[in-house]
Amino acid sequence: MRLTVNGLARDIDADPEMPLLWALRDVLGLTGTKFGCGVAACGACTVHIDGEAVRACQVPLGEVWGEVTTIEGLGTDGSLSILQAAWVAQQAAQCGYCQPGQIMQAAALLAVVPDPTDDDIDAAMAGNLCRCGTYPRIRAAIRQAAADLREAG
Amino acid sequence: MGRARRITRRAFLVATAAVAGGVGFGVWKAREVPANPLAPDAGVSLNPWLIVDGGGVTVVVPRAEMGQGVRTTLAALVAEELDADFAAIRVIHGPPAQAYFNGALMEAGLPMPNFALSDRQRWIGAQMAALPKVLSLQVTGGSTSTVDAFEKMRLAGATARETFKLAAAARAGADTAQLATENGAVLMPDGTRLTYVELAADAARIEPPEVMLRDPGQWRLLGRALPRTDMAEKVTGSATRRWRCRGWSG
């Protein structure tokens, strides 16, 4: 089947029942999206489908309804997005395993709410767990990114 | 920090080498200096923790990064003494090798907390440090990474720094006492800068001198919050995770 992933059309030869996460990581080699729990309870596998944050471990390939964006589509090591740059500036990550999912969830929030309050952030990010406990720095990074994005217009 | 120490290009001299009650061969194995496993295609390696090539300074941090920040802390140990530009330093994990044995494992394995160890117990731990060395135990865990690296990686940086100064002195006919180091370069008496990259080939041919570690009062990096060297790769998802390892490629 054919999916659009990070703006590119990709042909994927796999079972339509295969979770999108498996296809991204093992078929397409896009390993920035992480496997955490496998039951949509942690948020590590968060990607966008048509801009909406979804758990890639729970979306079968055959049911993908739109364009997929992964953390690789947001920015690269040499060219960070404003959101990722804010994450670096706030030194948000410790082990970093949940952070691609956190960042994708935050990107979906900021696309809808350009100036989120702490309550908005907490509500939007509640499904993304971080065992290192970096929540205060994640919140600071989102607030900084919101300001930077508004400034960038 | 008083004692003069040296590490050779091929590796590192362990202070406490004798195996208590060991036979001659055991003592020899424990004293033997592990070989430097680094053989970079380009540039030179002055010791197992350092590669200098056209791209600058690369530090080998032979412990697993798990969020404890070891790729930052251990790199800073080398950078502090080396006077490298910390913002420009690259960090790699390096190959598995005996040179990277964890000498702090045995003290950590004693059945009481570190702060409660007596001098005698610490001495036993130090003697037993030969065991992970002989067995090439390159382990990350038990809060041992910094304890193990605290002297050896600063020595790696200090020895390299002094070797670069010797190389610069030989090139300019100057005395090393007239030279200073700063941001990855040797400062010559006339104010010119010779970068470590420029000096690397010469330095590789020089027998490393004995060095003194700096007094903590002189530290510029250690003891301060530093930006993590691996932050960008963690926010792009490109950081290598252990189940994704595909062998060492430098």
Query: Could you report the per-residue pLDDT of A13-55, keeping only the tens digit for each?
Result: 999 999 999 999 999 999 999 999 999 999 999 999 999 999 9
Instruction: Write the CA distances from B228 to A93, A129, B27, B143, B220, integer angstroms.
Output: 9, 21, 40, 18, 16
Q: Across the A/B interface, how many CB contacts are shorter than 8 Å?
A: 63
- Which of A77, A92, A95 lies nearest to residue B236, judging by beta carbons? A77
Chain A residues closer than 8 Å to B244 by CB = 31
Residue ranges of chain A assigned to CATH 1.10.150.120: 82-152
Query: Could you report the per-residue pLDDT of A128-150, keeping only the tens digit for each?
Result: 999 999 999 999 999 999 999 99
Q: Which pLDDT score, from 0 to 100, does residue B243 have?
A: 60
Nearest CA to CA, how far is B148 from chain A (Å)?
21
* ipTM of this complex: 0.94
Q: Do A96 and B239 touch (CB under 8 A)?
A: yes
Nearest CA to CA, how far is A25 from chain B (Å)?
11
Least confident of B80-89, B142-151, B235-244: B235-244
Q: Any idea which fold A2-74 has?
A: Ubiquitin-like (UB roll) (3.10.20)
Where helices occur in chain A by DSSP H, the ranges are 20-22, 71-74, 82-89, 99-112, 118-125, 135-152
Query: Could you report the per-residue pLDDT of B59-79, keeping only the tens digit for each?
Result: 999 999 999 999 999 999 999
Residue ranges of chain A assigned to CATH 3.10.20.30: 2-74
Q: Do B234 and A80 touch (CB under 8 A)?
A: no
Which superfamily is assigned to A82-152 in CATH? Answer: [2Fe-2S]-binding domain (1.10.150.120)
Chain B residues closer than 8 Å to A31 by CB = 237, 241, 244
- Right CATH for B24-216 from 3.40.50.800, 3.30.365.10, 3.40.50.2000, 3.40.50.80: 3.30.365.10
Chain B residues closer than 8 Å to A45 by CB = none
Structure tokens at B83: 């006077």
B205 touches A: beta carbon within 8 Å? no
B87 touches A: beta carbon within 8 Å? no
